[in-house]
Structure 1
Amino acid sequence: MKKKIIILGGGGHAKVVVDLIQRLDCFEVLGIVDIDKNKIGSSLLGINIIGSDEMLSEFSPKEVCLANGIGAVGSDSLHGKIFEKFSRMGYQFPVLCHPSAIVSSSVVMHEGVQIMAGSVVQAGVIVHKNAIINTRASVDHDCVIGSSVHIAPGVVLSGGVHIGANVHIGTGAVVIENIYIGESSLVGAGSVVICDVPSFVRVVGVPAKELI
């Protein structure tokens, strides 16, 4: 019997999550909820937006699991906050891994991790809860990805990179081997990171430098 699931958020990332879940064919999608009540009655890829977040109280955590369809942008994103809110209420978030992703059997993926189409995740990688490894990202051996991190499309992480919680690595960024990126920092799209990044900063450019 398929596990019942509800998707949180009705935007662009939710559309990608819907497509992923449909390809897995192991969940019964009951619908999508979104904080924007104007979206109620519309749909994404044939899945109806059935209400706002408040209606989840109608479903017991024993009856349904949740998928985080809210995209993560920046260190203070709703993606992390909504995961923590519903986790505290007892809801579970399954790991979602696209069939086209290449993921080593030694990779450790915690609750709510999403691995999107075409991504490559190599041996020894640890991905903590609620992290996104987005389309065609490459994560090499022994990287550690913190909770609620967003590795955006096309990012390349060389081996041994450690990323703290709530970090956003922008589209197409490159991080060389053994770099540490502190929590709640942001790496701009297309940047090349060649030295450690402190917590709570923004870095951009080639090579990446802190924005003052």
Structure 2
Amino acid sequence: MSDPVLPVVIIGGGGHASVLVDILRQQNRDILAVISPDPIDSRSVFNGILHLLSDDDIHQFETNAVRLINGIGMLPGNTIRKHVANKFEAMGYRFDSVIASSAIVSPFAQLADGVQLFPGSIVQAGSQLGTHSIVNSAALIEHDCVLGNFNHVAPRATLCGQVECHDSVFIGAGATVIQSISIGTGAIIGAGAAVTKDLSVGHICLPAQSVQQSIEPKVMP
């Protein structure tokens, strides 16, 4: 469970982390540090936060005195987010969830540790979200959906009722999964795709290619 009383340390300093920090700042959460080997000063949202360069710097914080925020995003086939979670949890640290104030979450939904719900996202009654899963901006998880661990539902994607996603599923921006569909572990659904049949483990579903055709201007006689 999340502990909103404890201060947090952000793991990662890129775009995904910047949105999380923005959410946490608006909620007046105490952010002790950002751990990232890369520069973070180009993003003003990090101003005033201690920047640590090495994962080993986490050891200056007692495991029971802070919570971590997984600031590593998830792209198709990329396992860095999962690696970060496993590494720091093995050290005894725990990850908090981040739920934007504008997210709508049914009290009858179940959220595991490390879940991240971005602004405008909706999680309806009876849905279950696994650890470290992301529901990005304005994405919709309808009733009775079950998402495994390390899923990413990208902005404005829609999961209709009773969809089941196993672990490490990526659902691209604006994609739609109709009701009662099962999505296998590691499957990838491209942006804008409409999924109407079950998707097997590791399979990829892409939208139909658009056809572009030049139109010759008509010359009036």
TM-score computed with the length of structure 2 as normaliser? 0.87
How far does residue 43 in structure 1 lie from its aligned partner after superposition?
5.5
Q: Which residue of 2 aligns with 1:189?
A: 191
Equivalent-residue separation in structure 1 for 2:198 and 2:100 (angstroms): 31
Q: Which residue of 1 aligns with 2:147?
A: 145
Which structure 2 residues correspond to residues 12-27 of structure 1 after superposition, within 5 A? 12-25=15-28, 27=29
Q: In 2, are the aligned partners of 1:41 and 1:50 still within 8 Å (CA)?
A: no
Q: Which residue of 2 aligns with 1:91?
A: 93
- Shifted more, 178-187 versus 48-57: the winner is 48-57
Q: Which residue of 1 aligns with 2:218?
A: none
How far does residue 64 in structure 1 lie from its aligned partner after superposition?
1.2
Q: Which residue of 2 aligns with 1:210?
A: none
**2:81 corresponds to 1:74:** no
Cα RMSD of the aligned pairs, angstroms, is 1.7
Residue-pair matches, total: 204
Change (3 A) 1:44 1:59: farther
Equivalent-residue separation in structure 2 for 1:165 and 1:89 (angstroms): 23
SS in 1 for 2:7: strand
How far does residue 203 in structure 1 lie from its aligned partner after superposition?
1.3
Equivalent-residue separation in structure 2 for 1:106 and 1:85 (angstroms): 31
How far does residue 201 in structure 1 lie from its aligned partner after superposition?
1.7
Q: Which runs of 5+ in 2 are unaligned?
A: 210-221
- Structure that is richer in strand per residue: 1
How far does residue 41 in structure 1 lie from its aligned partner after superposition?
6.2
Equivalent-residue separation in structure 2 for 1:197 and 1:182 (angstroms): 6
Divergent runs of 4+, >4 A: 40-44
How far does residue 50 in structure 1 lie from its aligned partner after superposition?
2.5
SS in 1 for 2:24: helix
Q: 2:126 aligns with which of 124, 127, 137?
A: 124
**What amino acid is aligned across from residue 153 of structure 2 in structure 1?**
I
Q: Which runs of 5+ in 1 are unaligned?
A: 208-212
**2:193 corresponds to 1:160:** no
Residue by residue over 1:6-53, the C-alpha shift from the partner in whole angstroms, topping out at 9 and shown as x without a partner, is 00111000000001111222x3101111133xx166655123423221
**What amino acid is aligned across from residue 24 of structure 1 in structure 2?**
Q
**2:85 corresponds to 1:55:** no
Equivalent-residue separation in structure 2 for 1:50 and 1:156 (angstroms): 37
SS in 2 for 1:32: strand
**2:208 corresponds to 1:202:** no
Q: Which has the larger radius of gyration?
A: 2
Equivalent-residue separation in structure 1 for 2:37 and 2:205 (angstroms): 31
**What amino acid is aligned across from residue 71 of structure 1 in structure 2?**
G
Q: Which residue of 2 aligns with 1:106?
A: 108
- Shifted more, 131-140 versus 84-93: the winner is 84-93
Q: In 1, are the aligned partners of 2:14 and 2:40 still within 8 Å (CA)?
A: no
Q: Which residue of 1 aligns with 2:7?
A: 4
Q: In 1, are the aligned partners of 2:136 and 2:152 still within 8 Å (CA)?
A: yes
Q: In 1, are the aligned partners of 2:104 and 2:121 still within 8 Å (CA)?
A: yes
SS in 1 for 2:30: strand
SS in 2 for 1:7: strand
% same residue? 36
Q: In 2, are the aligned partners of 1:10 and 1:49 still within 8 Å (CA)?
A: no
